[in-house]
Amino acid sequence: MTSQARPLVSVIVPNYNYARTLGLCLSALERQTYPHIEVIVVDDRSTDDSVEIARRHGVRVVETDTNIGAPAARNLGVEYARGDVLFFLDSDLALAEDVVEHTVNLLTSDPTLGVVCGTYDPEPLIPDSRVERYRSLQLHYWISGDEGEITTIYSALFAMRTEVFHEVGPLNPALRHSENAEYGHRVTTKRYRIVLDNRIRGRHDHDDRLGVVLSKFFHRARLHIPLYLRRPDFNGGPAQSSRGWGSLAALFAVLCAPLPVVLGPVWLVAPVALLAGSIAADLGMYRFVLRYAGLWFTLYFAAIHFLVNVTVAVAVFAGVAQCVLSSRFRRTYDIPARSASVEA
């Protein structure tokens, strides 16, 4: 594929019960400036009216017999794709109008580029709650700040040449919630580069309930532990390292909170210092939120993020313990992508 070619782009949209956002997602694809697009919606046994919405937009709809999960749904969509470029897009995301154009330009100009990933806008697709606004600003800051070469993929919004997909292999269907790190490892093992470009962007309908947000943080952090322990080449970079220390500091601030009561007021310095360390680890993010959303929302944001940091730290220790106690969990990322069917 030459840089002058105008390849067909197959946009693969896995969907499960996202009728609320699917129409917005498909409408945004209809507005793309790049003309050579086919859209394949892989409906993963939805119980809402997602299939009817997709058909009203005139796209190809592939329905699964059972709920197989997003990674397997993406793989299934590839089987029906005719394009030279595969663009994987979650159904709760609406792209900016020039995204596919930028993606094609990037992939056709550099043969060493294996995957192009994108980011989220700071505003959610459908604003529902302050929790959702927290998640929208937090993810925008975290992901956009990693612009450049990375070692993982962001599976909600990424693209690659079809030939590279077949060389790397399909996404691991066993890893419904942690396929991004494992797939990124396989891409880089094949000596392809993964690049995050902030021009590849869209509005995302984030979770709007705190319990759901904390649950996802916990399970995803826990499921990444086998990869970090077994594959030291997987490195999130300085920003990820700083976030990790911030999470640990938050957890130990909670654990040290009783010390002033038990040992005397002088011990108040311990939880206060740990809390300050946790805030310092994410100080750039807090400054961004303050500029963008003002003081009062920043205070709310900081409180929610403290809970998130504690949750992530607990998940890390839970993942390490599970690695020690469960050989099956330790082998999570050794499961062959083509044969795996059940998540560890």
Q: Which two tokens stand for residue 294?
A: 């003002």
The pLDDT-based confidence of 3 (bands split at 50, 70, 90) is very low
Q: Which CATH class is domain 9-206?
A: alpha beta
Out of 44-53, 69-78, 229-238, 298-307, pick the least confident. Answer: 229-238
Write down the pLDDT at residue 148: 95
Buried b (16+ CB within 10 A) or exposed e, 193-217: ebbbbebbbbbbbbbbebeebbeeb
**pLDDT over 80 at 52, yes or no:** yes
Taking alpha carbons only, the member of 96, 103, 85, 124 closest to residue 197 is 103
Alpha carbon separation from 28 to 11, 33, 179, 215, 241 (Å, rounded): 12, 10, 26, 30, 35
Work out the average pLDDT over 76-94: 98
Q: Where in the chain is the domain with CATH 3.90.550.10?
A: 9-206
Placement of tokens 């499961």 in the chain: 335
Residue 130: C-alpha distances to residues 127, 207, 297, 301 (Å): 8, 10, 8, 9
Q: Which residues contact 119 (CB under 8 A, 6 or more apart)?
A: 140, 143, 144, 147, 154, 157, 196, 198, 200, 201
Nearest one of 269, 270, 272, 291 to 280, comparing CA atoms: 272
pLDDT value of residue 343: 36
Cα-Cα end-to-end distance for the chain: 39
The whole-number pLDDT of residue 250 equals 97
In contact, 169 and 74? CB cutoff 8 Å: no
Res. 28 pLDDT band, cuts 50 70 90: very high
pTM over 0.85: yes
Residue 199: φ, ψ to 5°: -75, -20
pLDDT tens digits along 103-125: 999 999 999 999 999 999 999 99
Is there a contact between 256 and 270 (Cβ–Cβ < 8 Å)? yes
pLDDT-based confidence at residue 226 (cuts at 50, 70, 90)? confident
* pLDDT at position 231: 59
